[in-house]
Amino acid sequence: MAKDGKSYLSSIRDGRSIFIDGRHVSDVTTDPCFRNAVASAARLYDYQAAPENLEQMTFASPSSGARVSLGWQLPKTYGDLVRRRQALERWAELSCGMIGRSPDHVASTLAGFRMGLAAFSEYDPKRAAALESYFEHARDNDLFLSYVIINPQADKAKSAGHQPDRHLVASVVDEDAEGITIRGAKMLATSGVMANELLISGFQALQAGDEDYAFTAVVPVSVKGLTLMSRRSYEQSATSSFDYPLSSRFDENDAVVYFDDVKIPWDRVFVFKSLKMASAQWHDTRAHVFQNYQCMIRLMVKLKFLLGLARKIAETNNIINYPQVRDTLGLVAAKVSNIEALVIAMELKGENFHGYYVPDRSILCTAQVIAQTTYPEVVEAIRSLSGGGMIMVPSSYADFEHPETSAIIGKTQRSPVASSEERVKLMKLAWDAVGSEFGSRHLQYEMFYSGPPFVTRGNSFRFFDWDAVKGAVDGFMSSYGLPSAQEMPDAAE
């Protein structure tokens, strides 16, 4: 048996503290701000638990024997990695790639930590033991984790410990024999409202004096003192699945998390007041690679969906044979194929890391850099191909139910290849994908979830094999030199 949707839904009815629109949410599984997104997450578990999908989506836990998501697998061969990727693709396809923090994302992060257990052991054997034990617990229970690894924005010219309010950013304020106590805020808990637990850490640079902020730990979302303050719910504002087919179902939500003296046991603390390990946990392990490899798989699925949407718009508007339209679609198709090619390449060029097979780090960094510009370009292509079509649509599905407006729709929403209803349905999907609040949020998300461009490009610089390319230049330059007298042309000639 694998974890299914019913089990997942039951696990998040745990008295968690969620606030939105000035009110406390008692049950995210039924609240109109979250229930459809939560149902979409439950569908992931139902899909993997279906008998016909069990072999493709799960594997037997080596400790418990339970069938759990392949997102938890630690691949040892190229074949293992590809099988795992195919499972992640299938999950992403269920949301058209729109759920960015699906359960396989932070599972990938923890898997990256676990494959780099040696780095934790060198730092502190007790923290390594805590990580190893927790990984097995999370895997065997197939937990849905989100994480908060970004600090709230205040004075970005100052580090966490030098903000006017020292407790703005979550930090360690106490420790004893039982564990640590943290106070302050973190963001952005994408999918946090529907996760079982939260990984708390940091990805931003820390300076001497910031040791209280240099920790990594995990807590249940329902733990005492933890509050999630949600952004606006796009799902709640969606009038119907016809009018908002994406935002009505896949608004995974984002939230600021505040920790009001939250106590965390030592067996859930993996890094403690170590500036060195706070950085090493990402790059001396393969956590950064593995978590962003999952992102590229999901983005590949999402871009293919958007490419299909662009093609369908061109066909519906009967502009598919225009040379300039084919030029646009051909260019976008090449960019989307490039992301897929990079995913395949990072697998083929993967490396053996402490007995595990992981994607190539340099190609992963290349994909991140390219992805940050590719997504906006695909969105712009859809806007250009749609023109005013995304705006010139009826206000809602209700206009089809009124005889007078329905007749006008039939006269004004025309296409040589689609009915009026099909045309409106397509244009509303296009608007939700790129023009609605949901669509705008996804543009911002895809451009910055990996970090600002200078960070992703800096990683690309950092992990590229410069010695190899410089060596080629040096090798060629060593094959010639200043000409000898015999080689010099005769001046008289």
Give 10-residue mean pLDDT values along the chain (493 residues).
96 97 97 98 98 98 96 98 98 98 98 98 98 98 97 79 82 98 96 98 89 97 98 97 98 97 98 96 96 98 98 97 98 98 98 98 96 97 96 96 97 96 98 97 91 89 93 94 80 51
pLDDT of residue 53: 98
The secondary structure element, H or E, covering residue 480 is none
Domain 5-283 has CATH 2.40.110.10: yes
2, β-bridge pairs: 67
CATH number of this structure's domain 287-466: 1.20.140.10
Neighbours of 322 (CB within 10 A): 12
| Closest to 76 in 3D by CA, of 356, 290, 346, 350 | 356
Measure the CA–CA gap between 480 and 474, rounded to whole angstroms.
Answer: 11
The secondary structure element, H or E, covering residue 127 is helix 125-140
Cα-only R_g, the chain = 25
Distance, CA of 6 to chain centre:
24
H helix count then E strand count, the chain: 18, 14
Measure the CA–CA gap between 341 and 201, rounded to whole angstroms.
Answer: 32
The secondary structure element, H or E, covering residue 210 is none
Place of tokens 């949410």: 25
Phi/psi for 219 (5° steps) reads -140, 155
In the chain, list all ranges with CATH 2.40.110.10: 5-283
User: Measured over all CA atoms, what is the biggest interatomic distance in the chain, rounded to whole angstroms?
Assistant: 97
CB 368 within 8 A of CB 292: yes
In the chain, list all ranges with CATH 1.20.140.10: 287-466
Measure the CA–CA gap between 366 and 92, rounded to whole angstroms.
Answer: 22
197, β-bridge pairs: 145, 220
